[in-house]
């Protein structure tokens, strides 16, 4: 999939995977509402009029972050294809597809797809080449220092230029090395893996509505200890 970064005044609050038939969007919901106050055209989500003041009280009291994930299926053919993949044998009518179970399965399907393609080495905490080299040797006692050094250099390069630029720079050598290295990385042990995908999967599986009252109560309780 091609990716398209949508920046709100160069602050980078939205990220999209986009192809003709669908989009996957991750964005900062609070920042999106702030942009909608300036202009509806600047916001990721449309029809924000009823939500414009939604988080104002809470954000003035304590910092609050809300990540929104949307899967936008733009064509009937794509909807039918995804329904088959999540084992939903129904016609893609509004009645059949607009329900909680289907929404959860579609979101989880795409989270799995993204995680499968995500370079495993990027989930490993990176502070400096020295610390990374030490950690990966400790976590993988059978790993040879030369291989650990290769992975350290690779991780440092990705930290500086990112995956897309790396693949652009090495495309004349083919994609075999990239996929081979990713498969090797999946077999490594990680002592401090950042479970971003696990957190997303947990929230989607629970599928609990966000209630501002719950956050307000937590913030009021925290204030007692400030």
CA 136 – CA 143 distance, rounded (Å): 8
**CA 126 to each of CA 19, 58, 107, 143, 144: distance values in angstroms, whole numbers, following the listed order:** 31, 33, 29, 18, 20
Prediction pTM value: 0.72
Cβ atoms of 35 and 42 closer than 8 Å: yes
pLDDT in tens, the chain (226 residues): 666 655 554 466 788 888 888 999 888 887 877 776 665 555 556 555 445 455 555 555 556 778 889 999 989 999 999 999 999 988 888 888 888 999 999 999 999 998 888 887 787 778 899 998 998 898 889 999 998 998 899 889 988 988 888 888 888 888 888 888 778 777 887 655 557 888 899 999 999 887 767 666 555 555 544 4
3-class DSSP string for 154-190: HHHHHHHHHHHHHHHHHHHHCCHHHHHHHHHHHCCCC
Which residues are bridge partners to 78 per DSSP? none
- Domain assignments of the chain as residue spans, ordered by start: 2-118+198-223, 125-192
CA 162 – CA 46 distance, rounded (Å): 31
Q: Which of 38, 107, 33, 29 is nearest to 66 (CA)?
A: 29
């Amino acid at each position: 999939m091609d990716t398209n970064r949508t920046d709100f005044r160069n602050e980078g609050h939205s990220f999209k995977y986009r192809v003709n038939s669908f989009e996957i969007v991750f964005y900062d919901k609070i920042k999106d509402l702030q942009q909608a106050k300036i202009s509806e055209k600047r916001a990721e989500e449309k029809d924000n009029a009823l939500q414009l003041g939604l988080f104002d009280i809470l954000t003035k009291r304590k910092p609050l972050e809300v990540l929104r994930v949307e899967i936008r299926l733009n064509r009937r053919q794509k909807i039918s294809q995804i329904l088959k993949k999540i084992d939903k044998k129904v016609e893609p009518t509004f009645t059949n597809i607009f329900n909680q179970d289907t929404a959860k399965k579609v979101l989880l399907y795409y989270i799995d797809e993204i995680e499968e393609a995500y370079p495993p080495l990027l989930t490993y905490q990176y502070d400096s080449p020295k610390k990374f080299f030490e950690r990966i040797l400790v976590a993988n006692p059978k790993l040879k220092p030369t291989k650990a050094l290769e992975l350290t250099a690779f991780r440092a390069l990705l930290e500086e230029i990112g995956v897309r630029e790396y693949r652009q720079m090495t495309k004349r050598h083919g994609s075999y090395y990239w996929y081979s290295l990713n498969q090797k990385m999946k077999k490594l042990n990680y002592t401090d893996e950042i479970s971003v995908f696990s957190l997303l999967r947990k929230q989607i599986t629970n599928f609990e509505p966000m209630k501002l009252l719950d956050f307000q109560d937590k913030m009021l309780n925290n204030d007692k200890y400030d």
